[in-house]
Amino acid sequence: MHPLTLDLPRIEQALLSQAELEHYLDLTTGNVLTVIPGDPPPGADEKYDVQPDRYLAIEPLPQVQALALREAFLFGLHDPHAHTLLSHALAGRKPLRTFDYQLENLPRAREAWLAFQAQQVRELALEWLQDNGLEQVRHPSAESFRPRGERSPARH
């Protein structure tokens, strides 16, 4: 595995992106670059020192997977009113947009969805990194990258 300091939140955003944008991970810096369709990919304008393998495209989740994520959330949702509205949203026209729209009127369900989505997308991002032979460099001072179950050092 190739260890790299990564902008993991931006990788997660790129995986969730529904916008017509292209996202690339810079394998040298760990930054995520966003490109408007039709513009050349990162590094294409380099006159010298062209590195074609420096940028790795980050493909957003396909709609089928985004729908499956929402269906998995509904499986654990115990609010019958919210469950009914959100189930109908997923069965209708423009299911992702309608699901998000319905959540705006359901604050508790929206909060639960955002927590569920954050956890699931973090796992998907880490799987994507592993599938591409990359691993997040862990910094001892970064609480957000501490392995589960590990406590922060005691302060005196």
Does residue 141 fall inside a structural domain? yes
Give the separation between CA 137 and CA 156, rounded to whole angstroms: 27
Position 47 pLDDT exceeds 70: no
How many residues does the structure list for the chain? 156
The reply to whether 74 and 116 lie within a common domain is yes
Does residue 83 fall inside a structural domain? yes
Does residue 34 fall inside a structural domain? yes
Phi, psi of 32 (to 5 degrees): -105, 125
State the chain's mean pLDDT as an integer.
83
Does residue 156 fall inside a structural domain? no
Residue 152 pLDDT grade (very low, low, confident, very high; cuts 50, 70, 90): very low
pTM value is 0.76
The reply to whether 57 and 131 lie within a common domain is yes
Position 131 pLDDT exceeds 50: yes
Does residue 155 fall inside a structural domain? no
pLDDT in the model for residue 6: 84
Does residue 69 fall inside a structural domain? yes
Q: How far is CA 15 from the centre of its chain?
A: 4
Does residue 154 fall inside a structural domain? no
Asked if 125 contacts 11 with a C-beta cutoff of 8 angstroms, the reply is yes
Show the tokens assigned to 68.
Answer: 């499956």
The reply to whether 129 and 112 lie within a common domain is no
The reply to whether 93 and 16 lie within a common domain is no
The reply to whether 89 and 77 lie within a common domain is yes
Domain of 134 in residue numbering reads as 2-61+122-145
The reply to whether 69 and 112 lie within a common domain is yes
Does residue 151 fall inside a structural domain? no
The reply to whether 115 and 128 lie within a common domain is no
The reply to whether 57 and 14 lie within a common domain is yes
The reply to whether 126 and 103 lie within a common domain is no
Q: How far is CA 127 from the centre of its chain?
A: 11
Where is pLDDT greater, at 119 or 140? 119
Per the structure, how many domains does the chain have? 2
* Mean pLDDT computed over 25-38: 88
